[in-house]
Structures are given as C-alpha cells and as structure tokens.
Amino acid sequence: MISFSPKPRLNSSAQKAANRRRRQLISSCFLLVFFGYALGVYRFFSRRLPSGEETKMENDDVDNGNHENPHHGVDFNANNANANCPITVTDALTRASNPSRVHIGVVQQNTASGTDVSCGLPPPETSDGLGPQTPCSTSTFPPDQRPMCKHSRNLKVFEGLTAELATGPVVARHVGYRLYDGQAFFMQVDAHVFFVENWDRIIIQEWQATKNEMAVLSTYLTDVVGSIDPHTHNSKRKTRPIMCNTQFEANAQGKYLRHGSQPESVPAIKGVPQLQPYWAAGFSFSRGHFPIQVPYDPYLPMIFQGEEISIGVRGFTHGYDFYAPEKSVNFHVYAQGENKVKRKNVKSFWENSKAHAGMGKLAMSRLLAIVGMVPDTEDYDRVEEDVYGTGSVRTAEMFYKIFGIEVVQKKTKKKLCDFVSSGNMHREFHEKHLRLDGIGIDYNKIGADFAIPAFLGQQ
C-alpha cells in the first residue's frame, strides 16, 4: 500500500491537535474491529501550511513522479436501503484499470429487518439483476466474473448505522471518512453512480495536471442517461458542470448557503481541471490528507443543506483549492426520467425527524457559527471545535469577501459564474498564484480586496 507520507514540521498546537485526532481514530478502530474489520496502520498529520516556501517536504511516490499505480480509497455513502450500492461497487471495480489498488469503504444504512439489499454482497446473479444475493462462498460463478468476490479484501462495509438510526449524510460521511486507511488518494461519491472505462487512471492524471498538492476535484455529477457508451464504456460527454452558483435559503433550521443548479459546458480551460470556488459532496477526489485535515463534523445531525458549504469553507481555510474535472469519470443515477421509478422507493433519513426534533436547528447553529456565517455569535455548541473547525492558512472572511457572499445581509452577488466558467478565475488565481512548491494557491498575494469584474457596480 502506498501512503502519503510527508514529514511536515509541527508546532506544539498542531502536535496536540494531531494527538487528539490520533486518539479519536484509534478508538474508532476498536469500534470497527467490533463490527468485523481489521484496519491497517493510520498515518496522521496536522500542519499549518506555509505562505511561501517555508516548508520542505520529503519526496514520496507521488512527489517523485511515480503515479502509475498508487492505491486510492473510495467512500460510498449508501443512503437507506439503496439497491444500487452493490451495482455501483461492482461497476467501480470492473471499470478500473487497476482494481486491485482500489479500496472501497461503504457506510450502509439498511433497515434492521435484514431484508434490504446488502452492499457487502455482490448483485444478484440473474440476468435481470433481480432476486436474492448470493454470498461469494456459495456462488457458482468464478471470482473473475464477480469483482466484489475477487477483491473482497479491499471492501469495508460499515453496518452500524441502521436506517432507524440515520440522522443524515453528515454523520454518515463522518463514519465513511474513518474508513480511510492511508491510501494515496481519496474519492467520495454517492452509492448510485456508474463509471467510465479506466476511470481511476483518468482521474489521477487529471489531479496530476493541476500540479497542486492541495487540489480537490469536485462537482455535481451529470445524469447517467445518455452519458456512457454501452459498448466501449467511455464517456459520451464533452461537457461537465462547474461549481459557481450558490444562494441563501431559509427553513426552520435557519438561513444558509445552498448550491443550486450548476452550469454545464465545454471546459474553457484545456488540459487541466478548472479552478472553481465551491466544493460538492456528490463527487470529491483528492490526496488522502484531505479527509484527515477536513473531517466531517459528527456533531451535525439532521443536516442536509449546509453540508457542502461547511466542508468547502473549512477546506479553503486549511489551504485546499477546488477544481472541476475536465473529464467526467462517473455519472449519477438521478430520480428523474427513465430512472424515476427505480429510485422512488429509496428511503430518506427525514423519516426519523420526529425522533430527533430540534436537533437539526441546533446543529445548523453550530455549522454556521464555525464557518463564520453568523458573525459575533457565541451561542452554539463548541465541542471539539478545534478538530472540526476552520484552519489557519486562510480566513473564512477572505473567502466570503472574494466570492461576493455577504454573511450579515444574507445575500450573494450575481454573475460569479461569468468569472468562473469563462476560465478567468483559473487564469487569475491558479496560473498566476499557485505556489512554486505546489502547496496550494497563495491567496495572500491575491488579497481579500481582489475585485471580480462581474461584481463591479453591484450593491
């Protein structure tokens, strides 16, 4: 297994934070072993990223150019009773150029009845994909025809969160991040997607093209319908979405930012993923230190909207930069069109709302306060804020000011997408201010007062 192993210099506060995180994850190992898992050794680090070239990193498998076959982990969040999950896992392994190097972690939230489809078992062996699932030990098919059996040692399924206990994607994905086991790369997707041929090699090559250690490739996935050639399994799309559209929304939990529909077009920047301001939960690909540095906050039950701005702002403050992939390597099965009927019976954690009344509002107060969207407030749950809070590389205030988000008036400036989708953000920020050592974009040189042309004249 190839792990990311830089040896940054840690100051005393960073060392204490690393130790706290180590204690947390080691305790979770015992819990996971209790559920039947034997996890390997974790690598931990916490660091304050430099503003210049103050930190020298030792070369590892990725730094010295050996990118051919690094191990990488995939985190699937299987929402309640999702029958697509084993199909998605099978497809990921079948379409990978190096399936033995793909490690998959699944957070499965089935009902306690035991009648739901299991993501720990291969899909049914029938031609129509219906019927009971057959364990690998009793299958009449050879392992080569059942990739989930052939690569079963690379699959971890956490079943401790049943549908009856589900409190939303934030808590479930927090558990999923704990399944990460030190691989070089980490990808997060939903449990109902399909992959293109050689997706693992393509996405690693895209990440390499950024020449940015802190690059996180992320987007809302395009609908699978009409996207993958059924014979070659290659993508039929020349377009891809880019994350630039957000606005404030209000409900009983409060006012928060919600990313809306994103523009999809032929990339303006060629040969490299394109810089964007926002992060998407449905697809995220990065080096393995991202889920360690920016873990999901487990103290946010019953949160759905707000999840993405939490990780996005916290990631920005830790020094991460978000990019739209130039090429899509997977596509989403949305509950619309020909797939509407197939997805209609997928359960939702909202079914448990009455059992957790009031928790979502308290969680949203914590989420908004941590990312600085409720200035000057002290009235929120601060438990382990040093672990699940913002970083020290950049400020949340800088993020809001540059990208036209007014947290007091609760409004966003218009036409940010003009600056982003045109490639001008990439040209101004990535091409001019990526640090020489490749450790992120230097926003100190950009400055919080950078004037996005599309905002000029707006109040």
Identify the three-state secondary structure at position 142: coil
- Where would I find the H helices in 164-256? 169-178, 199-210
* Structure confidence at residue 347 (pLDDT): 62
Block means of pLDDT (10 residues each) for the chain, 459 residues, are 29 40 26 20 30 32 40 54 79 92 87 81 76 86 86 90 83 90 88 92 96 97 94 97 94 88 96 98 92 94 89 98 97 72 61 77 94 87 94 97 95 95 97 97 95 81
Is 121 within 8 Å of 78 (Cβ atoms)?
no
Residue 107 near residue 162, CB atoms below 8 Å:
no
Q: What is the model's pTM?
A: 0.83
β-pair partners for 322: 216, 276
What's the pLDDT score for residue 272?
Answer: 98
> SS3 for 78?
strand
Report CA-CA distances (Å) from 172 to 294, 356, 384: 15, 16, 18
What is the torsion angle, in degrees rounded to the nearest 10, for the CA atoms of residue 364, residue 20, residue 322 and residue 246?
10
Report pLDDT digits (tens) over 340-384: 566 556 666 657 677 777 888 999 999 999 999 998 788 899 999
* Predicted local confidence at residue 320, as pLDDT: 98
CB 209 within 8 A of CB 243: no
